[in-house]
């Protein structure tokens, strides 16, 4: 039998990374966690508290870190690019300090510049950061977007040129968000949709899927809108999540919710995913 996926969620770290994060983890019944180590909507690079870092690292809890939403290696703004480099470097270091498995980064947008110029920027600025990751440090996980605007990577197929631009670096992994994939046109709700999507991902990036963001979608397939919904309450529905957990490419890959609501809703979503996994 294939390895079961740990199921967890993005947790509140109010009160400290370990103190707050592990408390919220217990409250929602999570088996793994994702955290922010900086303000998700700002550029301030906050340092950790050594006691909290050590407590989380020593807890043995499988942890992932999400970078700030502002990171964009494809931006034509020199300021945004410089801040993105500094933020990802900082977050990779913080990830290592808490023994995180991976640091999730959005694949970015060309905004107003040509796609090729933006991809050249991605290559020139991400490759050095990947080379800096120490042995035992977290992998950098690329999260494709919902396809709105001049996004550099939205579909599974878009990962092929993106990975090629990074020379298929050994420290690059993939974080697939189900809402983003659905919004970008992968019809996970259709018969065979999950198999087709994850077969394609395995063909393009074998062994690189390190995390799944399990989110239902408030919008229809192909809407190119990133609006998360609780599991089973959106246009994807519950059954595709059961199906994806049975796909060989997902064996042992942690599954993390980023759904609306507070602890009671998150506990419901995790309980439903566990039920789908275990039956």
For residue range 180-213, list pLDDT tens digits in order: 999 999 999 999 999 999 999 999 999 999 999 9
For residue 277, give the nearest of 1, 3, 12, 4 by alpha carbon.
4
List binding-site positions for Zn(2+).
66, 106, 143, 177, 180, 213, 226, 228, 258
Neighbours of 136 (CB within 10 A): 7
∠ at Cα 174 (48, 269), nearest 5°?
75
List binding-site positions.
66, 106, 143, 177, 180, 213, 226, 228, 258
How much is the pTM? Answer: 0.98
Taking only the tens place, the pLDDT of each residue in 208-257 is: 999 999 999 999 999 999 999 999 999 999 999 999 999 999 999 999 99
∠ at Cα 179 (194, 197), nearest 5°?
25
């Amino acid at each position: 039998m294939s390895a079961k996926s740990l199921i967890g969620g993005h947790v509140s770290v109010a009160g400290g990374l370990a103190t707050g994060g592990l408390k919220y983890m217990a409250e929602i019944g999570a088996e793994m966690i994702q955290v922010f180590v900086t303000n998700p909507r700002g550029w301030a690079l906050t340092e950790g508290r050594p006691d909290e870092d050590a407590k989380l690292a020593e807890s043995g809890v499988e942890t992932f870190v999400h970078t700030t939403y502002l990171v964009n290696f494809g931006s034509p703004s020199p300021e945004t690019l410089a801040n993105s480099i500094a933020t990802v470097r900082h977050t990779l270091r913080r990830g290592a300090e808490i023994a995180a498995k991976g640091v999730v980064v959005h694949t970015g947008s060309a905004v107003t510049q040509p796609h090729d110029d933006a991809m050249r920027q991605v290559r020139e600025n991400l490759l050095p950061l990947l080379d800096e990751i120490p042995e035992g440090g977290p992998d950098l996980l690329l999260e494709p977007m919902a396809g709105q605007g001049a996004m550099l990577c939205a579909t599974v197929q878009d990962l092929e040129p993106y990975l090629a631009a990074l020379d298929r670096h050994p420290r690059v992994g993939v974080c697939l968000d189900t809402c983003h994939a659905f919004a970008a046109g992968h019809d996970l709700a259709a018969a065979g949709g999950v198999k087709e999507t994850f077969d394609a991902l395995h063909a393009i990036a074998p062994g690189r899927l390190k995390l799944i963001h399990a989110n239902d979608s408030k919008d229809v397939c192909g809407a190119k809108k990133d609006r998360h919904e609780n599991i089973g309450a959106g246009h994807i529905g519950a059954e595709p999540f059961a199906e994806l957990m049975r796909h060989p490419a997902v064996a042992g890959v942690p599954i993390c919710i980023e759904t609306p609501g507070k602890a009671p809703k998150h506990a419901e979503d995790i309980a439903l995913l566990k039920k789908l996994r275990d039956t």
